[in-house]
């Protein structure tokens, strides 16, 4: 398993750069990955989605799909694309320290 240093912490990642141990995640890591993804600042709306995704992953054992996020976090698909442009489910999973959602290419 590969490792990577993010926000001064060494974490385990897979070949695609997704963290493999959600327990290693911190808010500082989220902010660093968000910047890498072109999101300069995480707003309260971003954190609402991130927190939903992390809790959903605890409950289900996997990263939520876009449909699960829009239904569960009371956010529209359009809002998701505005917050996390170009592949929102995949992008929010990376920022949330979760694996790649099922169905994402």
Encode pLDDT of 72-82 as tens digits. Answer: 999 999 999 99
The pLDDT of residue 105 is above 70: no
Q: Percent helix, strand, coil in the chain (nearest 5)? A: 50, 10, 40
Encode pLDDT of 7-59 as tens digits: 999 999 999 999 999 999 999 999 999 999 999 999 999 999 999 999 999 99
Q: Is the pTM of the predicted complex or chain greater than 0.85?
A: yes
Catalytic member of 7, 31, 45, 104: 104
Asked if 104 is an active-site residue, the reply is yes
Q: What is the DSSP letter of 87?
A: S
Dihedral of alpha carbons 11, 85, 44, 78, sign: negative
């Amino acid at each position: 398993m590969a490792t990577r240093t993010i926000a001064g912490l060494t974490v385990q990642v897979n070949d695609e750069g997704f963290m493999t141990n959600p327990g290693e995640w911190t808010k500082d890591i989220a902010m660093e990955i968000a910047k890498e993804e072109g999101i300069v600042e995480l707003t309260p709306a971003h954190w609402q989605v991130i927190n939903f995704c992390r809790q959903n992953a605890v409950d289900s054992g996997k990263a939520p799909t876009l449909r699960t996020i829009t239904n569960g976090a009371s956010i529209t698909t359009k809002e998701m694309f505005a917050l996390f442009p170009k592949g929102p489910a995949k992008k929010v999973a990376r920022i949330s320290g979760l694996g790649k959602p099922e169905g994402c290419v």
